[in-house]
Amino acid sequence: MRLYPSGSQEFRPAAFITHIRHDALVIQTFGEPPRILSGKQQISSGLLSYTDYAVFSLVNLYELCFCGDPRWWKLYNFNSNHVRVEFGNISIYSLRGFGLDPLQLEPFFDFLASFGIRYAGLSTMAMSVVKRSLDRPLLLQEEYESGFPIGPQAPLAGLRRGLPGVYDGLCLMDIPVAFPSAMAQPFPTTLRPGGLWWYEHGLARASISIDETGRLLPYDAGKRIGVWSFAELRALEDAGYSVKLLETWQGTGVQDPLAAWFDVVLALRALPGQAGKLGKVVSNQTWGLFCSRPNARYTRTTFSGDGTPFIEVLKHSYNPGSAYFGALIAGNVRAKLIREGLRSGAMFCETDSVILPFCTLNGWKQKGEISRLEMPSARTYRYKCMRGVREHWAIDGCVDCAGDRWHYVAQGALGGSVEAEGAFRREYDVLGWGGMGEGVSAGRVATSVDAEDWGFGVKPREAAAAEGVW
C-alpha cells in the first residue's frame, strides 16, 4: 500500500436523512430546516437535487431501501455491515448509531472541512485524514518471493479471557485510545523473511507453552503454534511462557509517519457529544483499513418491486502487502495488555481493557468501579457498579443495577441488551448458580462499559472488516 500526502480536498456540503416511512422521508442540511419529501414523485425528484452533496443516513440503510420503491435502491454490504446505498448516481453513507439530530454532528463535519477533508463514507474519510496528515509518502510493503505473505495470516482479534467466579471490589481499566496510540509509535515500513533471531520489529511463527498457573493467562495452558509479533512474544516470555521461534519476518525501515495523524485523532475524539463519538469511531476504524483479508465478503443487494432481495457478491480491494501492519498493531495492543493488565491479579480482559482488584495501572484509565462481579465464563458476566456509593445516592449501584437489576455484558451483544442478559442467564443456569443471586429483571438497556468506544458496538475483530473500499 502506497499512501501520498494529500492537499486540501474540494468541499461539498452534507445532507442527512433523519426519518423515513414507506412513502416519505425527511432530509436536512446544516443551516436549513428539515425538508419532508412525501410520495414517490417528491422523494425521487427531491433526492436527485442532492447530487452535489455527500448524503448520509442516520437511519438503517436496509429500511431506507423500502422507502418509495424498492427498485430504486442498491445496498452495499461489507461483512454484513450496511455500508452505503446508491440511489441513481447518489451514494448515501451509513451514519447509524449517532442519534437523529444532524446538528449534534456538525462539530465533526466542521472540523473535517477546516482540515480539508471531503465528506464521504466513514472509511474514505478515515483514510483521507491519514493522507492529509502525512508529511511524506508512506509505502507499506511485505516482500515475499513465493507463496503467500504472512501478514494476512497473523491474528487480529483482541484477547477475551476470563477466570469464572464471583468477585467483590473491582475496577474496569482500559488503555486510552489503544489502537490509534499503538499506530502512532515507530513501526517498520517493510517486512521481509529473516533468520531465527529475536528481531526488534516483525512477526514470527513460534510455538508457545506454559503450565496451568491458576492466574488469568492470555492463551490456554499447554502448547500452541501460531504467528505473533515480536512485541507480543517478548510479553509472553516475560509472563512465563516458553517461546520457540520457528520462522521469522523482520521489520525494517522503522519510522513514525502517523505521529501527526495521532494529534488529529485526539482533536476529533475531544469534540462534544455525538460528534466526539463519531470522531472515535472514525479514528478506531483507521486500523481496520490496514487489516485487509482475502475472505471478506462484499455484496450488492437489489430489490424487486415487492421487496424481494437479490444479492450479488462483488470483488473487493485486498492489500496483502500492508496487512502485516494491521497485525503488528493488534499484536502491540495485546502485548501491552499482557504485560501491564494481566500482571495484576486480573480476572477478565477484553482487547484493551481488564477487570481487576482495585488498583492503579500507570497510563491506564479507570472506566468504572464494580462492587460485585458474577462471571460464569469469559463469554458473559454481570455486575453492580458503584455510582450510587460514589455520588451519595440512597441506593447501591445505579438506577440500572440497584436491587435485583444488574449490568449485563456478553460477547457479541450490546452491553445491557436483552441479548446480553439472555446469554448470561443461559450460562448461569448451566452452572447451577441460580440460587446464588436474585431473579433477573426484565431486559433493561444500560450503557455498555466496553462497547462504548465502538459506536455500533463494533469490536476490533469486526472493525477489521470495515468498509475497505475507497
Q: Which residues bind Zn ion (CB under 5 A)?
A: 385, 397-398, 400-401
Report residue 29 as a C-alpha cell: 442540511
Query: What residues contact 41, with CB distance under 8 A and at least 6 apart?
Result: none
| All cell numbers assigned to 26 | 425527511
The conformational region for residue 293 under phi > 0 = left, psi -120 to 50 = alpha, else beta, is beta
From residue 236, alpha-carbon distances to 239, 335, 336, 339, 435 in Å are 5, 8, 10, 8, 39
Nearer to Zn ion, 397 or 460 (CB): 397
Nearer to Zn ion, 400 or 467 (CB): 400
Q: How far apart are CA 211 and CA 41, in angstroms?
A: 70
Rank residues 361 and 398 by Cβ distance to Zn ion and give the closer one: 398
Question: CA torsion angle for 458, 94, 184, 269 (degrees, to 10)?
Answer: -90
- Minimum Å gap between C-beta 408 and Zn ion is 11
Q: How far is the CB of 52 from Zn ion (least distance, A)?
A: 47
Cα separation, 109 vs 15, whole angstroms: 11
Identify the DSSP state of 320. Answer: G
Q: Give whichever of 397 and 468 is closer to Zn ion, judged by the CB atom.
A: 397
What stretches of 22-173 show up as alpha helix (H) in DSSP? 40-48, 61-64, 102-114, 122-133
Quote the CA–CA distance of 158 and 302 in Å, as a whole number. 35
What number of helices (H) and strands (E) belong to the chain? 12, 23
Question: Is residue 142 within a helix (H) or strand (E), and if so which, with residue range?
Answer: strand 141-142
Q: How far is the CB of 396 from Zn ion (least distance, A)?
A: 9
| Residue number with CB closer to Zn ion (257 or 368) | 368
How near is the Cβ of 347 to Zn ion at its closest, in Å? 19
With respect to Zn ion, which residue has the nearer C-beta, 61 or 385? 385
**In terms of CB distance, is 213 or 447 closer to Zn ion?**
447
CB of 276 vs Zn ion, minimal distance in Å: 23
- Residue 138 phi/psi, 5-degree rounding, is -120, 120
Return the sign of the alpha-carbon dihedral for residues 274, 280, 286, 289.
Answer: negative
Nearest Cα to 54, choosing from 75, 77, 29? Answer: 29
Closest CB 407 distance from Zn ion, rounded Å: 5
What is the closest distance, in whole angstroms, from the C-beta atom of residue 367 to Zn ion in the complex?
A: 13
What is the phi/psi pair of residue 85, to 5°? -125, 140
Instruction: Name the minimum Å distance from CB 398 to Zn ion.
Output: 3
The label of the residue with cell 450510587 reads 388
- Residue nearer to Zn ion on the CB measure, 369 or 462: 369
Minimum CB separation from Zn ion for residue 400, in Å? Answer: 5
Smallest distance, Zn ion to C-beta of residue 229, A: 37
Nearer to Zn ion, 85 or 401 (CB): 401
Considering the complex, state which of residue 84 and residue 382 has its C-beta at the smaller distance from Zn ion.
382
For every residue of 357-422, DSSP letters joined together read ES---TT-EEEEEEEEEEEEETTEEEEEESHHHHTT-SSSS-TTTSTT--EEEETTS-TTSHHHHH
**Which of 174, 169, 229, 465 has its CA nearest to residue 341?**
174
